[in-house]
Amino acid sequence: MISLVNDALPVAEGSGSKGLDSLSASSILQGVDAVEVSSLPLIWQQIAARNVAVGHSDPDFLVAMAQLFYTKATDRSPEVFQQKGFQQSPDFQSFYANGARKTLDFFGHDFVQSAYPDFDLALETARAQDGAERVVAFVRAVFNELGYDLPASFYWMLLCPIERDSIHEARPMFFDPQMQGVKRAYDACLHGFNVTAMLMLVQSRASEQGLLIQHGCGCDHSLAQLIPGKAKLSFEFESAQGRKKALTAYLWRCWNEYLLFPLGVHAHSLAL
């Protein structure tokens, strides 16, 4: 068992360690001059009003995260935008504000229930014939544990090897014509695995099917057989609170990675 010791979600001023111990819609916005829900992309206003079908276990917390993210990406975030040098940089502020809005718009729609995969259909239409059922089985196991608390792209990213000639085929996502429409979201979901607890959970479920997720710095993504043979990883969250911390940190990381994706430098000639 591995517990998450540190997460990337900012803690409101004056909340001390309490912000880490009690994650709620009110606690993460405590002491923050947060933007109003009406300032968020329309999909988030619809989520807040329960006008769209979202399966997340705590929609109010999700909306509060969106408020905090958009706040931190605008000039309301003093530790960034009120630092000397950034105050007179409209291009910098515009990049973050526009990027945050695009990020939230994408992930807001990604939390709508209709965006999630149909696992039976995914298996039925799989291109790979060398273990697609194993991939679907482990992703279904992850979904059964994490459900709608993570966005749909997380599960589509885990499933994407079944759309290749082989589930073990590596693909450079940044350059692969087949992945141009999804590369930004998939790459963000993969880099979110810097939250170790989330990586360990997914790897443990993959190992039950004899698989291991690999993601190289060259923006490739593949599944490979575990070596040696039948070795398995075992991981469970230590508590419900530990689970929520990990999910929150993972989602926050994904949003940051999605926002910053246009700044990435990728070389076609590097085999990483």
Write the pLDDT tens digit of every residue in 10-51: 444 444 444 445 789 989 999 888 999 999 999 999 999 999
DSSP-based three-state secondary structure for 219: coil
Sole residue written with tokens 């060259």? 218
pLDDT in tens, 84-115: 665 556 677 788 889 999 999 999 999 999 99
Q: Which one-letter DSSP state was computed for residue 217?
A: T
The pLDDT assigned to 109 comes to 98
Spatial distance between the Cα atoms of 185 and 152, rounded to a whole number of angstroms: 10
DSSP-based three-state secondary structure for 30: coil
Paired residues of 112 in beta bridges: 54
The pTM score is: 0.86
The pLDDT assigned to 265 comes to 61
Do 24 and 212 meet the contact criterion of CB atoms below 8 Å apart? no
Do 69 and 106 meet the contact criterion of CB atoms below 8 Å apart? no
Q: Return the sign of the alpha-carbon dihedral for residues 243, 48, 107, 256.
A: negative
Q: Is the pLDDT of residue 225 over 90?
A: no
Mean residue pLDDT of the chain comes to: 84
Contacts of residue 100, Cβ cutoff 8 Å, sequence gap at least 6? 69, 70, 72, 73, 74, 259
**Count of other CB atoms within 10 angstroms of residue 33:** 9
| Most confident segment among 85-89, 116-120, 260-264 | 116-120
Structure-token pair, residue 71? 């706040």
| Residue 158, φ and ψ in degrees, nearest 5 | -65, -30
Q: What stretches of the chain adopt beta strand conformation (E)?
A: 171-172, 211-216, 220-225
Sole residue written with tokens 């007179």? 88
Q: Residue 228 carries which side chain, given as an amino acid letter?
A: P
Q: Return the sign of the alpha-carbon dihedral for residues 270, 160, 108, 58.
A: negative
pLDDT in tens, 29-38: 998 889 999 9
Q: Is the pLDDT of residue 229 over 60?
A: no
pLDDT confidence band for 2 (50 / 70 / 90): very low
Q: Is the pLDDT of residue 264 over 80?
A: no
The pLDDT assigned to 11 comes to 44
Spatial distance between the Cα atoms of 76 and 173, rounded to a whole number of angstroms: 34
Spatial distance between the Cα atoms of 57 and 242, rounded to a whole number of angstroms: 15
Q: Is the pLDDT of residue 8 over 80?
A: no
The pLDDT assigned to 3 comes to 30
Spatial distance between the Cα atoms of 75 and 81, rounded to a whole number of angstroms: 5
pLDDT confidence band for 181 (50 / 70 / 90): confident
The pLDDT assigned to 35 comes to 94
Sole residue written with tokens 């526009």? 98
Q: Is the pLDDT of residue 158 over 60?
A: yes
Average pLDDT for 130-150: 96
DSSP-based three-state secondary structure for 131: coil
